[in-house]
């Protein structure tokens, strides 16, 4: 590994045109695959029984379309500029201050990567016990090390080749078939229990539609700090916008709805057990579990790009291997099942962060030009971000029925847009 290759800061320089190969279907394949996961289904199940069936589906569809639209918008900015997420943060918040949101992003990506490994471990153990192949003992540790080793192997290779050859051609068709099968099985169960009764079921009032919308939007928003790291490899900004939006929205709606359906049909079962109870659920869950690997990979690859932006002496690949090893170690020792507070805490940081980025870069100075002009600290964007975090936490107390994510995002975007530099 030569010194020039490792010392150049790849995350803060526009990607050369010769390395941009993703078309709209590559973006769509990647983000559909990243949008499918057991974590998404679990969050969908959290909406029940607080909401009624119709309220839950409304929150899922509207939240997914809005959240995926934001994802696609940031993807377009990343593709047009050729900059990674760290580069966008430098351009908006200043070269010295950008280190803070970048470090927060790395922390959340390590958390997500660890979550993914824990979910894959638990699902692997459940599948093994269901099939009679595993018993109690050291199998959870072995399963964690197994999936951590798989991610280490993938991160040592080419991200572009993984997306174009493995995800698009192999993983995506298999996971679509699995989702179709599970959907068919649980719709049949719902039909046996009475579709009309399930459709008219009311919630117990523990959550309103707007707070539920926050929870739905939290999942795509958690990917906002990652999307430019992949979209910068795209040929066209319009393709990046369209592919990322469509791919993620479809996956998010499907998995959230499946989680809601499972919670309605088998309310007393945890998600993995409920999926295993479906006919053919063992095979379908196994295929979804394999697809879950790309979610962990996505977290660790993007975390490596962000870490490389801070310490370019280590290559992206070297950082990726280090973060994969760290996530594997954390998955062995930390309890990682308090999901909802974690999601909402992340949203409180990254909703206003990217509201300001979108307001500054979507219609103003191009991102690569803004990066060239970036000073040490850009006081106004920093103040807007911090005020947005405060707004996110204060709104549920002052106006609980309004939710937090959408009002905060709209406010930060509007103020950043109105105060953006001209020319």
* pLDDT tens string 287-311: 888 878 888 999 999 999 999 999 9
* Predicted pLDDT at 290: 81
Residue 168 inside a domain? The answer is yes
Residue 172 inside a domain? The answer is yes
Query: pLDDT: is 59 or 207 the higher one?
Result: 59
Backbone φ and ψ of 234, nearest 5°: -85, 155
Residue 83, CA distances (Å) to 33, 230, 348 in order: 23, 10, 24
Mean per-residue pLDDT, 269-278? 80
CA distance 10 to 15: 8
Kindly state the DSSP code that residue 132 receives in the 8-state scheme: T
Dmax over Cα atoms in the chain, in whole Å? 66
Residue where the block lists tokens 């969050």: 43
**Is 285 a residue whose pLDDT tops 70?**
yes
Mean per-residue pLDDT, 154-167? 86
Instruction: Determine the distance from the C-alpha atom of residue 195 to the mean position of all C-alpha atoms in its chain, rounded to a whole number.
Output: 32
Lowest mean pLDDT among 202-216, 234-248, 327-341: 327-341
Query: pLDDT: is 56 or 363 the higher one?
Result: 56
Residue 202 inside a domain? The answer is yes
Residue 408 inside a domain? The answer is no
Query: pLDDT: is 135 or 23 the higher one?
Result: 23
CA distance 306 to 324: 14
**Is 1 a residue whose pLDDT tops 50?**
no
> Within 10 A of 16 (CB to CB), how many other CB atoms are there?
8
Tally the residues of the chain.
423
Kindly state the tokens that stand for 166.
């493995």
Buried b (16+ CB within 10 A) or exposed e, 131-140: eeebeeeebb
Residue 353 inside a domain? The answer is no
**Is 346 a residue whose pLDDT tops 70?**
yes
Give the angle subtended at the CA of 21 by the CAs of 16 and 22, to the nearest 5°. 125
CA distance 401 to 101: 29
Residue 389 inside a domain? The answer is no
* Predicted pLDDT at 370: 81
Range of the domain at 305: 24-338
* Predicted pLDDT at 137: 59
Lowest mean pLDDT among 4-13, 29-38, 116-125, 280-289: 4-13
Residue 233 inside a domain? The answer is yes
How much of the chain, in percent, has pLDDT values that exceed 70?
95
**Is 381 a residue whose pLDDT tops 50?**
yes
CATH, residue 80 = 1.10.4160.10
* Predicted pLDDT at 418: 93
Domain count, the chain: 1
Kindly state the tokens that stand for 140.
């959870």
Mean per-residue pLDDT, 308-329? 94
CA distance 263 to 189: 12
Considering the entire predicted model, what is its pTM? 0.90
**Is 136 a residue whose pLDDT tops 70?**
no
Query: pLDDT: is 365 or 349 the higher one?
Result: 349
Kindly state the tokens that stand for 18.
């010769």
CA distance 370 to 373: 5
Cα radius of gyration rounded to whole Å, the chain: 21
Kindly state the tokens that stand for 406.
């959408």
Residue 346 inside a domain? The answer is no
């Amino acid at each position: 590994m030569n010194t020039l290759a490792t010392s150049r800061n790849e995350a803060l320089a526009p990607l050369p045109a010769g390395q941009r190969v993703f078309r709209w279907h590559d973006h769509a394949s990647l983000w559909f695959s990243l949008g499918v996961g057991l974590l998404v289904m679990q969050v969908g199940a959290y909406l029940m029984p607080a909401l009624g069936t119709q309220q839950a589906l409304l929150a899922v569809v509207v939240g997914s379309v809005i959240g995926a639209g934001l994802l696609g918008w940031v993807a377009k900015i990343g593709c047009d500029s050729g900059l990674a997420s760290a580069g966008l943060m430098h351009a908006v918040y200043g070269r010295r201050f950008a280190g803070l949101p970048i470090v927060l992003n790395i922390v959340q990506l390590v958390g997500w990567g660890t979550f993914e490994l824990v979910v894959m471990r638990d699902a692997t153990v459940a599948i093994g016990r269901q099939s009679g192949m595993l018993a109690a003992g050291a199998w959870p540790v072995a399963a964690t090390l197994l999936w951590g080793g798989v991610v280490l192997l993938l991160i040592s290779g080419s991200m572009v080749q993984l997306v174009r050859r493995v995800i698009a051609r192999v993983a995506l068709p298999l996971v679509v078939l699995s989702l179709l099968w599970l959907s068919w099985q649980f719709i049949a169960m719902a039909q046996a229990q009475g579709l009309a009764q399930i459709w008219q079921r009311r919630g117990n009032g523990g959550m309103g539609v707007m707070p539920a919308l926050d929870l739905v939007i939290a999942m795509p928003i958690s990917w906002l700090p990652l999307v430019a790291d992949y979209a910068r490899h795209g040929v066209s900004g319009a393709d990046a916008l369209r592919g990322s939006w469509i791919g993620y929205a479809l996956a998010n709606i499907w998995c959230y709805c499946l989680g809601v359906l499972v919670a309605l049909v088998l309310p007393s079962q945890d998600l993995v057990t409920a999926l295993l109870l479906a006919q053919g659920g063992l095979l379908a869950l196994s295929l979804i579990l394999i697809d879950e690997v790309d979610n962990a990979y996505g977290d660790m690859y993007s975390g490596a790009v962000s870490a490389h932006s801070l310490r370019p002496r280590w290559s992206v690949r070297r950082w990726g291997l280090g973060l994969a090893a760290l996530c594997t170690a954390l998955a062995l020792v930390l309890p990682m099942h308090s999901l909802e507070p974690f999601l909402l805490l992340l949203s409180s940081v990254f909703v206003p962060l990217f509201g300001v980025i979108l307001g500054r870069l979507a219609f103003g100075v191009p991102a690569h030009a803004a990066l060239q002009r970036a000073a040490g600290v850009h006081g106004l964007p920093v103040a807007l971000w911090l005020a947005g975090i405060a707004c996110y936490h204060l709104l549920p107390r002052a106006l609980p029925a309004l939710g937090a994510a959408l009002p905060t995002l709209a406010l930060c975007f509007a103020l950043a847009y109105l105060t953006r530099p001209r020319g």
